[in-house]
Amino acid sequence: MRGGTEMDYSFPEGFLWGAASSATQTEGASQEGGKAQNIWDYWYTIEPEKFFHEVGPGTASDFYHQFKTDVQRMADIGMNSFRTSLSWARLIPDGRNVNPEAVQFYQSLIDELLEKGIRPIINLYHFDMPLHLQEKGGWESREVVEAYVHYAKEAFRLFGGQVKDWTTFNEPIVPVEMGYLNHYHYPCVVDMKRAVQVAFHSMLASAKAIEQYRKLGHDGKVGIILNLTPSYPRSDNEADEKAAETADLFFNRSFLDPSVLGRYPEELTALLNQHHMLPHYVEGDMETIASHTVDFLGVNYYQPRRVQAKEHPVSNPTLPEHFFDPYVWPERRMNPYRGWEIYEKGLYDIALNIKDHYNNIPWYVAENGMGVSDEERFMDEDGMIHDDYRIEFLEEHLKWLHKGIKEGSNCYGFHMWTFVDNWSWLNAYKNRYGFYRVDVETQQRSLKKSGHWFKEVSRNNGF
């Protein structure tokens, strides 16, 4: 797609141009406004050294205090939509009762967005389990599933009259992969059977929240946001292709199939059964999942997954990686700061996969972006960061997305991660993603070159 004459990449009428964020990563005010501790607040208090430069979520990007001027900044660069999350620990700090200070904050934010012509997309869960619920088992616990359903119902009741776009989860694979198969998210458990239970309960909770939304009779839509990582085999050798299919089952289809199709892949169920890892469920659970599928998909795409057949087979596999080996593609291009491969065509492959295998469900790119360290290197004398690398990254992804739309994939929007540089879990502020730079010391914002570029793209509905 590179080189040649310049083409006109225009997008469908009404296309969403915006950005995404989350409560814990932007709000700050972690001990204000009646908010309870979530797992990130707690983990930082006991192991601050785990976090880059020991920066925790206490202040983040101060969105809790600066949201009005930040919403104006969104409007200034042509954003017509914005996705963020509610903080469960802020809205319902004790697990039962709604916090009026949180209601006032979120209501004011929604009002501000609508007043500026920015469509709010509100997500319910973005890795931020309230601590008191994690202590009850987190997503391993049925009780926590029911607590989430209560939280979702209250959110829909409070804000569903104005918010027409809801998502139940952002990247539900991440708490599974990072918190129950690795040590990158709290509770830092490495146990695949428990991980499978967490994954299943996340899908059950999503379906139950969708059920509540529809019972309330709102006229909006409810979806889910999944980070889809296409799995590419090293070769067309049968063993390599089988390895790629297995990776796809674990990391994509385990959430995509129940969310959109209302059922789990038979191959996944058989594989988990073979290794005695099926989750516990009760009568009616599968019917709940089958009957409450999503209206739309949000898709986060950053990098592909490349795999090959296992060089040394594991007789008793206890982790997904025991079923396949990673493969380094000799032609790959890397984002050296994040350690991720840059492969723009992956977005096109996702677009066609949704079209061909998932009923061509309406979907939008809910996150795409490039994290870079030490961006001050690219700052001019006027204080603007010239992030041409980010502009190129976004343009190349948009070209492939455009091709997928032209071929019939039902994509209606593109959101960048993120609007302003934000706090990012253990990485804190190591890598920056925003259209606006945040000075962590002063919390002042300054527009990057990519923000000017985005304004033109939004205004022209293409480039």
Query: Quick one: what percent of the chain has pLDDT higher than 90?
Result: 95
Decide if 367 is catalytic.
yes
Cα–Cα dist 65/105, whole Å: 9
C-alpha distances in angstroms, 137 versus 50, 86, 141, 194? 23, 21, 5, 10
Q: What is the pTM of this model?
A: 0.95
- pLDDT tens-digit readout, 348-362: 999 999 999 999 999
| Residue 316 pLDDT | 87
Cα–Cα dist 440/422, whole Å: 9
Decide if 245 is catalytic.
no
CB atoms within 10 A of CB 406: 10
Considering the chain, what is the average pLDDT of its residues?
95
Give the residue-averaged pLDDT of 111-121: 98
Catalytic residue, chosen from 112, 154, 171, 341, is: 171
- pLDDT tens-digit readout, 214-261: 999 999 999 999 999 999 999 999 999 999 999 999 999 999 999 999
- pLDDT tens-digit readout, 173-201: 999 999 999 999 999 999 999 999 999 99
Q: Where in the chain are the domains?
A: 16-460
Q: Which CATH architecture has domain 16-460?
A: Alpha-Beta Barrel (3.20)
- 144 pLDDT band, cuts 50/70/90, is very high
Q: Is 103 helix (H, G, I), strand (E, B) or coil?
A: helix
CA atoms within 13 A on the CB side of 144: 22
Residue 289 has pLDDT above 60, yes or no: yes
- pLDDT tens-digit readout, 295-335: 999 999 999 999 999 999 888 888 999 999 999 999 999 99
Catalytic residue, chosen from 154, 177, 341, 367, is: 367
Residue 4 has pLDDT above 60, yes or no: no
Residues 424 and 40 sit within 8 Å (Cβ to Cβ): no
| Residue 385 pLDDT | 94
